[in-house]
Structure 1
Amino acid sequence: MTRNAWHILKDDQSVTVTRRVPARFDVESEAVLPLGDKLRVAQQVRQDLWRALQNQRGFSPVVEVREQGGQLSIRAGGQCDRIVARRALEARIADVLNDSGKRARWVRFARLRNGGSHV
């Protein structure tokens, strides 16, 4: 795998974007968005999560987006290969997921495909 490679794992219910396979959630936080394209949301969340935590040594991001109950359920976090302050790291992940500007951009981006409909 090259340095910039990301794995995209899909099934009927979810899309997972991860640096490593199998994906592992040592730390995580969750959020909910309106329905939209799961892959587009996963990639946008992954990008923002990576930007926020790129200096967290030993951390490999994982983002899972699942359609559930008429909305998108997002689980973001990842694998930690070093000892980390778990609660502090999960709070940083939650900050990314709860940033209103980022959330609005993710929703807009998820609706761009297929004339605004979700896939």
Structure 2
Amino acid sequence: MYTQLKKGLSFAFALAMAIMVSGNAYATEKTEKENKKEKVRATTTYFYNGPSSSLNDHVANPSNWNQNQQPGLSCDNPTQIPCSLEVPEDMTLNEYLEELGSPQAIIDESAKGRN
């Protein structure tokens, strides 16, 4: 009888440990997912509404970028004309353009060509 009780207690202990370990793994996984969500930085999309010629003279000018795209313009065109930029939430458009540094870097960073 003592042997059966000992086996029963050992089984109960092992079962309790397994539940605790799996619970901790779930909690850790959930916390990691929540932390990843917090690390995703929000951005603001700005569209290039400036001239399509002399890009080097115009793409670094913040007044040529707006949060609304002009009617008649569209993205996904095979051109070098910038379409949009995703500016991090902790930066202004002007700061972001300055951080990119050169007109070519701005064009390279811009998503998809504009017509």
TM-score range, shorter chain: under 0.3
TM-score normalized by the length of structure 2: 0.25
Greater RCO, CA 8 A, separation 6+: 1
TM-score normalized by the length of structure 1: 0.24
Computing the radius of gyration from Cα coordinates, the structure with the larger value is 2
